[in-house]
Structure 1
Amino acid sequence: MTQQHQPMWITVHCSATPHSMDIGCSEIRRWHLQRGWQDIGYHYVIRRNGTIEQGRPLLQQGAHVTGNNKGNIGICLVGGCDNKQKPQDNFTLAQRKSLFTLIEQLQQQYNIDDKHVTAHSQWNSSKACPVIVIQSEAERQEANSLLRENV
């Protein structure tokens, strides 16, 4: 497996599952292995109760943003769709607290600024993922200009 360089980005995703589906790393890992991937694509998964599960080891490059995985930490929130697979912000308060705590820890550990914390949809505009707003509009625009430089 490919070693990743110093992480420079944090990308937030969702599992595109309904609120009633409380899955974790083992289920997502199984789905990704069935797709032929080497392992779960995300480095972290945040369950409905806010529990943070370790996915792919941080020293390994993730598989969560096509063409932009190098130096990119992937965090997946469980949820993000209604029962008809339509995007829905159905994340719990516990998930939100865990998400922002984890982001803060990773930013401090790897010296990642706020402009380098993005939503999956910022890398791929055809995605609704993660269906949660993590930046103000001004921060999102600044991050988008950095993304264009990175691609």
Structure 2
Amino acid sequence: MKNYWQNTLGWKNPGYHYLIDAKGAISQLQHEDKVANGVKGYNSNSIHVSYIGGINDSGRAEDTRTLEQQFALLKLLLNLKARYPDAIILGHRDFPGVRKECPYFDVREWLKLNMAA
């Protein structure tokens, strides 16, 4: 992935600060105080989180998160929110001017259901 970012996209930094694999393991790809290339125009004041998946077996966009990924994502977001209480949690598609479908689920609705629990 790092090779893709650097050699294909020409980025100096990763696209995300955190990446969650299918088993729910969280990898930190970039320190939070460093800029990652997640959402153009918002990188300097954002922490970017991604999960492996989002494409079904037919190659179409779909919410493919495993239960382990969902638990890991919730744990990570709760931790980040505790450290950055004024942070607004959004999906890539929720940023103004962004024309992307990811993360293929409604982040705000998912947070309402899970962070209150």
Using the size of structure 1 for normalisation, the TM-score is: 0.67
Question: What does residue 90 of structure 1 align with?
Answer: 64
SS of match in other structure, 2:44? coil
Which of 33, 40, 50 in structure 1 is aligned with 2:6?
33
After superposition, the Cα gap between the structure-2 partners of 1:61 and 1:125, relative to the gap in structure 1 and judged at 3 Å, is closer
Q: Where in structure 1 do 4 or more consecutive aligned residues deviate above 3 Å?
A: none
The residue aligned with 2:91 is 119
Q: Which protein is richer in strand relative to its size?
A: 1
Alpha-carbon distance, 1:125 to partner: 4.5
Using the TM superposition, give the Cα deviation of residue 131 of structure 1 relative to its aligned residue in structure 2, in angstroms.
0.7
C-alpha distance in 2 between matches for 1:59 and 1:30: 22
CA shift for structure 1 position 120: 0.2
Unaligned runs of 5+ in 1: 1-27, 140-151
Say which structure, 1 or 2, has more relative contact order (CA 8 Å, 6+ apart): 1
Is there any run of 5+ residues in structure 2 with no aligned partner, and where?
A: 113-117
Residue 6 of structure 1: aligned partner: none
Q: CA RMSD in A?
A: 1.8
Maintained 8 Å contact 1:61/1:69: yes
TM-score computed with the length of structure 2 as normaliser: 0.85
- Of 22, 31, 36, which residue of structure 2 is paired with 1:48? 22
